[in-house]
C-alpha cells in the first residue's frame, strides 16, 4: 500500500467521537479518530516498512503517525531524524507511543533520555522521562542511578510542566513497583509531594497518585 492509499483507508475508518476525544487530549486537528484496534490490524497487514513509515509520519496526521510507530525500523533512524520527530509532537499519547515502540530500542536511547529529561520544553521533557521510566521497568538502572532519579523527582516533580510531570511521576511509580527495597520510600515520597492526589479517576481505573498506583500494581502482582 502507498501512503495515499493508507491515508484514504484511515479516513474511511475515522470515528468522529474518537477524533474529538483525541483532540481534547492534545492531538492535532489533523486527526481521523481511528480506533487503535483498527490501526493494529492495518499495521499487521502492511508489515514493517521503514520508508512508508517515514512518509506517513511526514503527513502530519495523528493516526498516520501512530501507525508509523508500528512500521518503523528503529535502527534506521538517525539522531537528527529522531530529534526532529519528537520536537514535532505535542500529543502526550503519541509521544509515549513513539518512545515506547520505537526509541526505547534505539542504540542512542540512553543519550536521548539524558538530553531530553532536562529540557525545558514539555514534550521533550516527557519523552526523556518516559524513556527513564521504561528503563526502570526493564531493570536497566542500578542503585546509584535510582537514587539520582529519586533526588531529581523530589526536587522537581511538583513544579514540572504537565507532560514532563506525568512521565516523571511514572518513573517514581516504576521504581516503587519494580524495586521492593524502594517501595515504601516511593509511597512516602508520593504522599509528601501530593502530586495527582486530588485527580478524579474513572471507575475501574487506577489513580496516577503515586501511593495508589504503586500499591495497586504491587498488590495485583501478589495475587
Pair 72, 78: CB distance under 8 Å? no
Residue 96: what pLDDT?
A: 97
Task: List, as one string, the DSSP characters of 158-187.
Answer: GGS-HHHHHHHHHHHHHHHHH-GGGHHHHH
Domain boundaries, the chain: 1-93, 108-223
- Residue 135's nearest CA partner among 95, 94, 106 is 106
Per residue of the chain (223 residues), give pLDDT as tens: 899 999 999 999 999 999 999 999 999 999 999 999 999 999 999 999 999 999 999 999 999 999 999 999 999 999 999 999 999 999 999 999 999 999 998 999 999 999 999 999 999 999 999 999 999 999 888 999 999 999 999 999 999 999 999 999 999 999 999 999 999 999 999 999 999 999 988 888 899 999 999 999 999 888 7
Looking at the whole model, is its pTM more than 0.85? yes
* Other CB atoms within 10 Å distance of the CB of residue 29: 8
Taking the C-alpha atoms of residue 213 and residue 200, their distance in angstroms, rounded to an integer, is 14
- Residue 216's nearest CA partner among 190, 194, 134 is 190
Amino acid at each position: 500500500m502507498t501512503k495515499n492509499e493508507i491515508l484514504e483507508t484511515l479516513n474511511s475508518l475515522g470515528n468522529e467521537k474518537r477524533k474529538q476525544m483525541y483532540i481534547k487530549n492534545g492531538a492535532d486537528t489533523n486527526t481521523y479518530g481511528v480506533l487503535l484496534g483498527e490501526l493494529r490490524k492495518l499495521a499487521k497487514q502492511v508489515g514493517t516498512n521503514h520508508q512508508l513509515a517515514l512518509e506517513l509520519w511526514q503527513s502530519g496526521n495523528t493516526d498516520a503517525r501512530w501507525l508509523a510507530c508500528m512500521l518503523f525500523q528503529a535502527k534506521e533512524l538517525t539522531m537528527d531524524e529522531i530529534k526532529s520527530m519528537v520536537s514535532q509532537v505535542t500529543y502526550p499519547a503519541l509521544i509515549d507511543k513513539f518512545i515506547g515502540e520505537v526509541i526505547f530500542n534505539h542504540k542512542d536511547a540512553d543519550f536521548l533520555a539524558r538530553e531530553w529529561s532536562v529540557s525545558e520544553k514539555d514534550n521533550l521533557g516527557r519523552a526523556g522521562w518516559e524513556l527513564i521510566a521504561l528503563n526502570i521497568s526493564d531493570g536497566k538502572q542500578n542503585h546509584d542511578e535510582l537514587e539520582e532519579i529519586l533526588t531529581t523527582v523530589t526536587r522537581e516533580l511538583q513544579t514540572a510542566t504537565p507532560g514532563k510531570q506525568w512521565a516523571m511521576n511514572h518513573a517514581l511509580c516504576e521504581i516503587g513497583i519494580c524495586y521492593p527495597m524502594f517501595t515504601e520510600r516511593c509511597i512516602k515520597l508520593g504522599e509528601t509531594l501530593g502530586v495527582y492526589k486530588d485527580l478524579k479517576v474513572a471507575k475501574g481505573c487506577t489513580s496516577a497518585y503515586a501511593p495508589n498506583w504503586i500499591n495497586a500494581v504491587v498488590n495485583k502482582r501478589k495475587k
